[in-house]
Amino acid sequence: MKTLPYYWRLSAFYFFYYASLGAFLPYWALYLHTLGFNAQAIGELIAILLAMKIIAPNISGWIADHTGRPIALVRLCALLAALFFITILFGQSYLWLAIVLGVFSVFWHATLPPFEAYTLARLGKQSHRYSQIRLWGSIGFILTVILLGWLFESFSVTLLPILLIVLFAGIWLSSLLVPEKKTAHQFVSSESFYQVIKRPSAIALFLVCFLMQASHGPYYTFYSIYLEDYGYSRNLIGQLWALGVVAEVGIFLVMHHLLTRFGLKQLLIISFGLSGLRWLLIGYYVESLPILLFAQLFHAASFGMYHGIAIQLIRQHFADHHQGRAQALYSSISFGAGGAVGSLVSGYTWENLGAQFNYLWATLICVIAIWITWRWVGE
């Protein structure tokens, strides 16, 4: 660990960033449900939050690559995100929430891609050990989701916006600890960024990343509501979310060993296969707690393994001076476009066609992604 540059400073940022996700993903839909919104409105509001990730990362990635000052950009965006989110306290109408979430999320989503590129640049030839830093994000997620699950058993979930403001302030403060330091480009290509993304292998890579996050739509949007409808307590719901991320931490701890022993393509196919199985188990065995516990362990594959592989494949495809935009494109296509489409589709179909239908189409998407990966994704 000591050989990794800026280990604790980089880890602190990931801790607070994913701690905010640990508050958002499990509990934001419950918060909106408490305010009286139906499934369609909840799906739309979460889709707005995710849709901004299509635009914001690409702008911040381009600025970071051209200015050579990614950390200054991260600090500014983190501060503006925290300040704009405070205005969520001023109203609870659909229109007000849509406006605030739209503006706030532009800056929130703009922080991570430049920081990811900076982290990989600082690691240099040790980029395969990225997961050892990223795991602190998972720890932040786990602690937050467990503590809030316990808290919301005794107090109203309407406290959530205030708690999120504290976490967003933590993101900004942790960014101040990271030094702004330019890194010499070790891998420079004569190809332009746009020439690289036109390659069939690059197109296939971004397409399967889109499909992976689209398949998460029913999970990220309605998993907590789904379990609550079947009588699970909010404390237990929080623990189930946390279990998934504990499994994610486990895969991050061994990821650098897996990457040196197995092919990235092979691991990516495995991650899609286990993800599809996970959605089937959640959709069709929600009344069985042991099966839900087992299914949550597959979060190690559907996020941990998948994300670690995607980061490495993008690192291989793009030169150092393209990394900011490459990480931004990955973020916008997968977590932005994929997440937004998944949330919208599940929002419009949840009440009419049911949970099982939603988790079934999520599984089918994973099957399609396996075929695309096998045929076209290259290393």
Q: What is the pLDDT of residue 135?
A: 87
Count of positions (residues) in the chain? 379
Q: What is the pLDDT of residue 182?
A: 63
Instruction: Report, as an integer, the average pLDDT of 160-183.
Output: 91
Q: Is the pLDDT of residue 188 over 60?
A: no
Q: CA of 115: how far to CAs of 95, 169, 178, 222, 343, in Å?
A: 32, 17, 10, 29, 26
pTM: 0.85
User: Could you please report the per-residue DSSP string of 137-198?
Assistant: HHHHHHHHHHHHHHHHHHS-GGGHHHHHHHHHHHHHHHHTTS-------SS--SS-HHHHHT
Kindly state the percentage of the chain with pLDDT values over 70: 96
User: Which range among 120-124, 155-159, 226-230 shows the weakest confidence by mean pLDDT?
Assistant: 120-124
355-374 pLDDT, tens digit per residue, is 999 999 999 999 999 999 99
Instruction: Report, as an integer, the average pLDDT of 43-54.
Output: 90
pLDDT grade for 3, boundaries at 50, 70 and 90: low
Q: Is the pLDDT of residue 187 over 70?
A: no
Per the structure block, which two tokens stand in for 5? 């540059």
Q: What is the pLDDT of residue 1?
A: 44
Contact predicate 142/249, CB 8 Å:
yes
**Which residue ranges form the domains of the chain, and what is each CATH number?**
7-376 (1.20.1250.20)
pLDDT grade for 319, boundaries at 50, 70 and 90: confident
By three-state DSSP, how is residue 3 classified?
coil
191-206 pLDDT, tens digit per residue, is 788 888 899 999 999 9
More confident of the two residues 305 and 125: 305
Residue 236: CB partners within 8 Å, gap ≥ 6?
149, 227
Kindly state the percentage of the chain with pLDDT values over 90: 69
